[in-house]
């Protein structure tokens, strides 16, 4: 009994911190999303669903509502870009993870370090380096012109591809590590058995490695999709701030647009979307994700 009490007492400070400063604020954000926009930022009573209506409708001067797809388009772009990021990360991360698993233990450690390290470098810096490369007077244009491939500069920045590139660059480690940790546990004898039964490399990959890697792919997809959906820096720096994603739209509501309830409503919508994906993936693959 004494053990149980100390156990709770030791966990209590952290639990209290997480509840007061993580869960409670998310609840407060829900309340804010239901308030009226304040004149100088902030929010005030009475309660209203105006912020959520604003997602789908434009309010006309006479108060009538016009259906508008402007924000839906931004939401759609965000989901599209986040999904494309997940797919690209799988396409790059899965073969890389497999290669690392196949390597000798010493080499494995080094390669894992190389995959992990970028995660710890500031995302702002990691996005900014692509500005240096892709902008009009950047390295890529400089190189292309010096080689003589192009006469004038090409605009590489400020399009969806640049945003996608920045997102894949940012989130790739989240995909490689879970896949690696799943594949690492795969016994070599399974692979050898497949080859002994005359499967070539591709068949072995398709029929053995890919199915076994699925729990890692699911976990990785989740870890990439969640932050990618709300990403701010890639659309802001590489998309020029004009090709908005939900993340940059939310940020705008708390800075220049000063519409806190709308910003909070958008944040609520993003959270619900992420939780939904989390729920669907985890429910389908719960045991697999836990490695059972």
Which residues ranging from 34 to 73 are in contact with another protein (CB under 8 A)? 42-43
Residue 230 near another protein by CB under 8 A: yes
Nearer to another protein, 56 or 92 (CB): 92
Q: Which residue has the tokens 């659309």?
A: 235
Where in 244-263 is the site for another protein (CB under 8 A)? 246-247, 250-251, 254, 260, 263
Site string for another protein, 144-173 (x = CB under 8 A): -------------------------x--x-
Is the peptide bond prior to 46 cis by the omega test (within 30 degrees of 0)? yes
Instruction: Please spell the DSSP secondary structure of 186-252, one letter per residue.
Output: S-HHHHHHHHHTT--HHHHIIIIIHHHHHHHHHHHHHHHHHHHHT--HIIIIISTTTS--HHHHHHH
Site string for another protein, 181-220 (x = CB under 8 A): -------x--xx--x-----x--x----------------
Q: Alpha-carbon distance 262 to 206, whole Å?
A: 46
CB atoms within 10 A of CB 239: 23
In the complex, minimum distance from the CB of residue 160 to another protein, in angstroms, rounded to a whole number = 19
Site string for another protein, 105-144 (x = CB under 8 A): ----x-x-xxxxxx-xxxxxxx-xxxxxx-x-xxx--x--
Element (H, E) at 59: strand 57-59
The two structure tokens encoding residue 93: 């991360």
Q: Which of 71, 158, 171, 232 binds another protein (CB under 8 A)?
A: 232
């Amino acid at each position: 009994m004494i053990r149980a009490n100390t156990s709770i007492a030791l966990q209590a400070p952290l639990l209290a911190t997480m509840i007061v400063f993580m869960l409670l604020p998310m609840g407060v954000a829900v309340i804010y999303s239901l308030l009226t926009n304040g004149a100088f930022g902030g929010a005030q009573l009475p309660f209203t669903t105006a912020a959520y209506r604003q997602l789908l409708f434009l309010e006309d001067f006479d108060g009538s509502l016009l259906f508008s797809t402007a924000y839906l388009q931004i939401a759609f772009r965000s989901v599209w870009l986040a999904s494309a990021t997940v797919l690209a990360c799988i396409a790059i991360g899965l073969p890389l993870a497999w290669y690392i698993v196949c390597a000798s233990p010493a080499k494995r450690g080094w390669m894992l370090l190389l995959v992990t390290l970028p995660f710890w470098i500031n995302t702002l810096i990691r996005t900014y380096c692509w500005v240096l490369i892709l902008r009009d007077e950047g390295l890529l244009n400089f190189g292309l012109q010096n080689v003589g491939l192009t006469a004038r500069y090409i605009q590489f920045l400020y399009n969806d591809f640049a945003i996608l590139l920045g997102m894949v660059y940012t989130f790739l480690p989240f995909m490689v590590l879970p896949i690696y940790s799943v594949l690492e546990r795969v016994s070599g004898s399974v692979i050898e058995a497949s080859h002994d039964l005359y499967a070539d490399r591709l068949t072995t990959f398709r029929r053995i490695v890919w199915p076994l890697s699925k729990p890692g792919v699911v976990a990785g997809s989740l870890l990439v999709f969640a932050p990618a959906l709300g990403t701010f820096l890639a659309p802001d720096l590489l998309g020029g701030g004009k090709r908005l994603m939900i993340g940059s739209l939310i940020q705008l509501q708390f800075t220049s647009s000063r519409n806190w309830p709308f910003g909070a409503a958008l944040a609520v919508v993003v959270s619900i979307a992420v939780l939904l994906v989390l729920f669907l993936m985890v429910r389908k693959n719960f045991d697999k994700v836990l490695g059972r």
